């Protein structure tokens, strides 16, 4: 019922460059849709962070459309984050370039 343990594991998998494991942990965390009213509930778990990690994992797996979809979700939750905005632009350019090949 808590996203935080899954996202803590996701951080470790990111550091280990285990992209498939990272996708699994992020998706599992995001299946938890009811935010608990407890002190353990951390804001990072309910913001752009899980979508950002998921986008990065899909990028490393060459799953461009999924990477973009999650980058856009992350950016929608943090519209002032220039890095997320740039990630969306880079992924759109990558998809456009791939479609020309």
Token code pair at residue 101 = 């090949």
Percent above pLDDT 70 for the chain: 99
Q: Are 3 and 50 in contact (CB under 8 A)?
A: yes
Question: For the purposes of burial, counting CB atoms within 10 Å of the CB of 68, is it exposed (0-12), middle (13-18) or buried (19 or more)?
Answer: buried
What does the pLDDT read at residue 39? 80
**Rg over CA atoms, the chain:** 14
Label residue 70 exposed, middle or buried (CB < 10 Å: 0-12, 13-18, 19+). Answer: buried
Give residue 54's pLDDT. Answer: 98
Q: What does pTM read for this prediction?
A: 0.93
Structure confidence at residue 92 (pLDDT): 97
pLDDT at 101 over 70: no
Taking CA atoms, 79 is separated from 6, 10, 15, 37, 46, in Å, by 24, 23, 26, 25, 15
**Within 10 A of 37 (CB to CB), how many other CB atoms are there?**
6
Q: What is the pLDDT of residue 9?
A: 98
Q: What is the pLDDT of residues 25-56, one digit of tens each?
A: 999 999 999 998 888 889 999 999 999 999 99
């Amino acid at each position: 019922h808590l996203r935080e343990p899954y996202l803590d594991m996701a951080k470790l998998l990111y550091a280990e460059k285990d992209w498939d494991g990272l996708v699994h942990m992020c998706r599992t965390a995001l299946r938890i849709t009811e935010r608990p009213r407890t002190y353990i509930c951390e804001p990072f778990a309910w913001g752009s962070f899980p979508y950002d990690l998921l986008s990065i994992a899909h990028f490393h797996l060459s799953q461009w459309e999924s990477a973009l979809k999650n980058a856009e979700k992350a950016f929608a939750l943090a519209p002032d984050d220039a890095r997320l905005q740039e990630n969306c632009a880079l992924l759109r350019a990558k998809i456009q370039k791939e479609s020309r090949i």
